[in-house]
Amino acid sequence: MAKILCVLYADPEGGYPDTYARDGLPHLDHYPGGQTLPTPGGVDFTPGALLGSVSGELGLRGFLEAQGHTLVVTSDKDGPDSVFERELADADVVISQPFWPAYLTAERIARAPKLKLAVTAGIGSDHVDLDAAIQYGVTVAEVTYCNSISVSEHVVMMILSLVRNYLPSHRIVLDGGWNIADAVSRSYDLEGMHVGTVAAGRIGLAVLRRLAPFDVHLHYTDRHRLPREVEEELNLTFHESAEDMVPVCDVVTVNAPLHPETEGLFGDRLLSTMKRGAYLINTARARICDEDAIVRALESGRLAGYAGDVWFPQPAPPDHPWRSMPHHGMTPHISGSSLSAQTRYAAGTREILESWFGGTDIRDEYLIVDGGKLAGAGAHAYSTNT
Ligand code: NDP
């Protein structure tokens, strides 16, 4: 029987909810492009419940314990005295969400001799040292597509809120004020702007599709070019590299995975080629941007705004410079953890575990590392240092 160690974010400060703002979730048949939603044998939770926090347990306890497995759930994940560090020593499976990542470093993987499976309940497995997973034969899987649309909606929201100066204007209302000039002196229309995405995978393409009706000029760069009919439908301009694309853009959104090719991409050099007053939205991974270079670009006016929900480390310390830099619209890491998304990635995590314990293949589109190499979706979107 296996021990499953599940790291989830803490419950709400007011306690685990017993009611919700809405009574259910819309029914979705499939993802854009036809991929099916998760297909576990069953689920033990109510769709729309808070599943990603400790008491939600991703709805897994009944299923796992019925099979004789042990489930340990904790939010205590960092430092040598953490529950995660202690329980990892004899864990067979680790489950973690990017929003509250249990960093599976090479050292931790080396100290977990029984570890065979790391599941990302979400998308983006960069909190796992993939080279070490390859070396130690750990399978890494994530719930591909589960929150891609959730993130794309967040990106569109953040683009509009920066360009239109929404958050400072809302602050004026909260503070009892009414100075229109204060609100509008940084407010523009998105219409007519040039908007580019670094990567046009599931999220990037969904952002492009959602922005097309705003009558903007759309640009993208990616390692693989989109089909010609998609380029024509959305009137996309393709660029060979981020370096080629960003100088022509008023708004840039980052939707690539963090891997050796993208780490530190937005540093002083690339930022200096952006238009003065450009906006940068990064909901992909924080370390694609140089933390201090972003602050400098906002202070100098090179960037008119920066927004996103990804930080390093997570949780961000109270004195993280991105909390206090000017003209930012940061949120905690939430875009992919709406109640809607949680329902999908909890079901997808269960599907992966059913396959694993049932001895059947995990869907290829869920695999990142398997059999000692990048596999499935991971082979397509990631690179390693080796
Ligand atoms: P996809 O795998 O569908 O898309 C990723 C795209 O990035 C692929 O098209 C890939 O290219 C492209 N890419 C990889 N490297 C580069 C590069 N060096 N330059 C340009 N493009 C590159 O993933 P998703 O769209 O679903 O997710 C993207 C990322 O968003 C995730 O890896 C994760 O880090 C982040 N994310 C954030 C969430 C949040 O809550 N904030 C939630 C979900 C994801 P190709 O495949 O053509 O080689």
Residue by residue, pLDDT tens for the chain (386 residues) are 999 999 999 999 999 999 999 999 999 999 999 999 999 999 999 999 999 999 999 999 999 999 999 999 999 999 999 999 999 999 999 999 999 999 999 999 999 999 999 999 999 999 999 999 999 999 999 999 999 999 999 999 999 999 999 999 999 999 999 999 999 999 999 999 999 999 999 999 999 999 999 999 999 999 999 999 999 999 999 999 999 999 999 999 999 999 999 999 999 999 999 999 999 999 999 999 999 999 999 999 999 999 999 999 999 999 999 999 999 999 999 999 999 999 999 999 999 999 999 999 999 999 999 999 999 999 987 877 76
285 CB under 6 A from ligand 1?
yes
Question: CA–CA separation, 190 vs 215, rounded Å?
Answer: 8
Answer yes or no: 285 catalytic.
yes
Helix (H, G, I), strand (E, B) or coil at 352: helix
**Domain limits of the chain?**
3-146+337-375, 148-323
201 CB under 6 A from ligand 1?
yes
203 CB under 6 A from ligand 1?
yes
Question: What pLDDT does 383 receive?
Answer: 79
283 CB under 6 A from ligand 1?
yes
Question: What pLDDT does 40 receive?
Answer: 97
310 CB under 6 A from ligand 1?
yes
- Amino acid code (one letter) for 174: L
CB proximity list for 321: less than 8 A, separation 6 or greater: 291, 292, 295
Which residue shows structure tokens 């450009």?
Answer: 278
Question: How many angstroms is it from 155 CA to the middle of ligand 1?
Answer: 14
Ligand 1 atom 4 nearest Cα: 201
What does the pLDDT look like over 142-183, one tens digit per residue?
A: 999 999 999 999 999 999 999 999 999 999 999 999 999 999
Residue in 69, 97, 147, 302 annotated catalytic? 147
168-197 CB burial, b ≥16 within 10 A, e <16:
ebeeeeeeeeeeeeebeebebebeebbbbb
Distance in angstroms between the alpha carbons of the first and the last residue of the chain: 34
Kindly state which CATH superfamily the domain 3-146+337-375 is placed in: NAD(P)-binding Rossmann-like Domain (3.40.50.720)
- Best residue among 223, 339, 366 to mutate for probing ligand 1, ranked by most atoms within 8 Å of CB: 223
Question: What CATH class does 148-323 carry?
Answer: alpha beta
CB proximity list for 357: less than 8 A, separation 6 or greater: 2, 67, 69
Answer yes or no: 147 catalytic.
yes
The pair of three-digit structure tokens given for residue 282, joined into one six-digit string: 């990064």
φ, ψ of residue 328 in degrees (nearest 5): -110, 160
Handedness of CA 208, 212, 216, 218 (dihedral sign): positive
This prediction has a pTM of: 0.96
Question: How many angstroms is it from 120 CA to the middle of ligand 1?
Answer: 15
